[in-house]
Amino acid sequence: MLPEIQLQQPLLDSSPNGNGNSNAAAVSSSTATNVKAKKKTGSSRLWMRFDRFGQSELLECEKSAIIKRVSIPARDLRILGPVFSQSSNILAREKAMVVNLEFIKAIVTAEEVLLVDPLCQEVLPFVDQLRQQLSHKSQLKSHEDGPMDGKEMHSSTGQWLPVPEAADGLQSELPFEFQVLEIALEVVCTFLDSSVADLERDAYPVLDELARNVSTKNLELVRSLKSNLTRLLARVQKVRDEIEHLLDDNEDMAQLYLTRKWIQNQQFEALMGSTGSNSIVHVASNLRRLSSNMSASIVADDNDVEDLEMLLEAYFMQLDGTRNKILSVREYIDDTEDYVNIQLDNQRNELIQLQLTLTIASFAIAAETLVAGVFGMNIPCQLYDMDGIFEPFVGVTSTVCFLLFLLLLGYARWKKLLGT
């Protein structure tokens, strides 16, 4: 069990016989102790510990206690901090696996899981599913396994030693660390799928409304939708890229087999302890045989990453499907924007055509206005002395200007400057 932090407040002497200096010293000592306690608790975080049987407990631990227990560098705890909250990492260490997938931040060993901030609303489904599945699998295993299942008798020592979970060529369940990783990937993929479903449910009505009515309100809704889509695509892409990185490197996948390495260490320690009382020659021969057998088994096991590869490929395909859904929504947004731009271009063309028609009409009217302005001058002219000339002259002038308007309009249509 991890050590819990307990703060104790110093007691002050409240007796009436105590002098003022002693009380002041006690108060200063209490203040200093409180400051140290606050500094000490400032680096502690809330953790939840799960064992392989689904039993859990809440703990408040410092970084040093976690580092000492799981043997990881301090930078891995910074990866699990709030600074890297939007990053996705699956890191293999000597005795632990650091999992940072969206809101799930955990340290997994061959025997237990240490989960950061287990009381967050997003983490609670992972906690419930982890407790249920681990306890259920442990109950099934306790009913099916015999008293010596999972062990083998060593020929020279006569001791029962642990063996890997897959024996005699039979396919067994995944190791403990992969069970936890599978649950984490399942919860994260389910969360991302639900987020994409919510995005699709909100996106299509907004885009259809924008196609029907281009307004400032609808454009603002689409802008907010595109921002959410970009952030969601980045989150899915980070998890997908991390899984793809593991699938591309068999060595990294082999390092994630914590149970395999733990069993090999247990076998090595058991054989070393059994040869302690034998002769030096017998010990040396056993060590040479043990080292050769261990090296051969390690090389064979490191090349066998089929279980983890199949697990990662399944969730990689699921994440790829989620990513394709997001890309389909993005394509629908792009198609809607293209349709809106076509509508706006069509309206702009109609305005240009209307402006051209009004310009032609203004030119024709300006020609008639020119004639009226010329005859409005105080210049002697014989037409002024003719009776009844006003109406015919105005009619002829207006007819000529109208014919000029039709001529220019027909020329614009002939040049396809106006729609038919």
Which pair of structure tokens corresponds to residue 98?
């650091």
Nearest-5° angle of CA 202, CA 206, CA 210? 170
- Asked which of 48-62, 217-231, 329-343 is least confident by mean pLDDT, the reply is 48-62
- pLDDT bin (cut points 50, 70, 90) of residue 296 is very low
Q: What is the mean pLDDT of the chain?
A: 77
pLDDT at position 75, please? 84
Higher pLDDT, 77 or 221: 221
pLDDT tens digits, 102-122: 889 999 998 889 998 888 888
Asked if the model's pLDDT at residue 34 lies above 60, the reply is: no
Examine residue 319 and state whether it is found in any structural domain, yes or no. Answer: no
Examine residue 353 and state whether it is found in any structural domain, yes or no. Answer: yes
Examine residue 350 and state whether it is found in any structural domain, yes or no. Answer: yes
- What is the mean pLDDT of the segment spanning 13-23? 42
Select from 101, 121, 142 the last residue of a domain.
Answer: 142
Select from 94, 127, 142 the last residue of a domain.
Answer: 142
pLDDT tens digits, 149-158: 444 444 444 4
Asked if the model's pLDDT at residue 341 lies above 50, the reply is: yes
Examine residue 120 and state whether it is found in any structural domain, yes or no. Answer: yes
Question: CATH number of the domain that 106 lies in?
Answer: 2.40.128.330
Select from 110, 142, 174 the last residue of a domain.
Answer: 142
Q: What is the 3-state secondary structure (H, E, C) of 258-309?
A: HHHHHHHHHHHHHHHHHCCCCCHHHHHHHHHHHHHHHHHHHHHHHCCCHHHH
Examine residue 50 and state whether it is found in any structural domain, yes or no. Answer: yes
pLDDT > 90 fraction of the chain, expressed in percent and rounded: 29
pLDDT at position 32, please? 41
Examine residue 99 and state whether it is found in any structural domain, yes or no. Answer: yes
Examine residue 224 and state whether it is found in any structural domain, yes or no. Answer: no
Asked if the model's pLDDT at residue 280 lies above 60, the reply is: no
Dist. CA 244–CA 10, nearest whole Å: 55
Higher pLDDT, 120 or 276: 120
Examine residue 315 and state whether it is found in any structural domain, yes or no. Answer: no
Dist. CA 374–CA 387, nearest whole Å: 19
Instruction: State the residue range of the domain holding 96.
Output: 40-142
Q: Specify the DSSP element, H or E, that contains 161.
A: strand 160-162
Total domains in the chain come to 2
